[in-house]
Amino acid sequence: MAMNFDPFRDLDRVAGALLDTRGPRLMPMDLYRDGDVYILSADMPGIDPGSVDVDVDGQLLTIRAERTLANHDGVKWLTRERQSGSFLRQLNLGQGIDIEAISASYDNGVLSVTIPVSEKAKPRKVQVTTGGTEQHDTITVNEHEQRITK
């Protein structure tokens, strides 16, 4: 049997016991924008899909999940690195999100949350007419850029 030597493993175990690591744990995630939606992908391996809870309260998105490991009474553990317990992540969504259309799916240990941009926050064109002439100016409105063409 191959054994890996890690001089810090015992230190991590003792520090974890002293600092009470039984509280909610963070889950690693990626967040990116693809067109008119934001995509959040969170790693949650070993999580029971029935324990995954995604809530939106105002502009706060909360993800909760629970991992339970099989209890093996009477065994002698050689190493036990997989943690059980609660996982929690909260994100402030800010303005410009269509909170009614948020959706989530859990597949192969990854939670994917799709967060659409609201229609009001999408870039749009506004047609402006000038006094008495048939010439039209087009103003492109975007949260990062303003451009006027004639």
Separation of alpha carbons 29 and 43, rounded Å: 6
Which pLDDT value is given to residue 39? Answer: 96
**At residue 30, what are phi and psi to the nearest 5 degrees?**
-120, 145
In CATH terms, the fold of domain 23-69+81-117 is Immunoglobulin-like (2.60.40)
Q: Which of 3-7, 20-24, 30-34 has the highest mean predicted lDDT (pLDDT)?
A: 30-34
Identify the DSSP state of 144.
S
Instruction: Kindly tell me if the per-residue pLDDT of 142 is higher than 70.
Output: no
- Mind listing the pLDDT tens digit for each residue in 65-94? 998 887 788 888 888 877 788 889 999 988
Handedness of CA 106, 107, 109, 114 (dihedral sign): negative
pLDDT at 44 over 60: yes
Domain range list for the chain: 23-69+81-117, 123-150
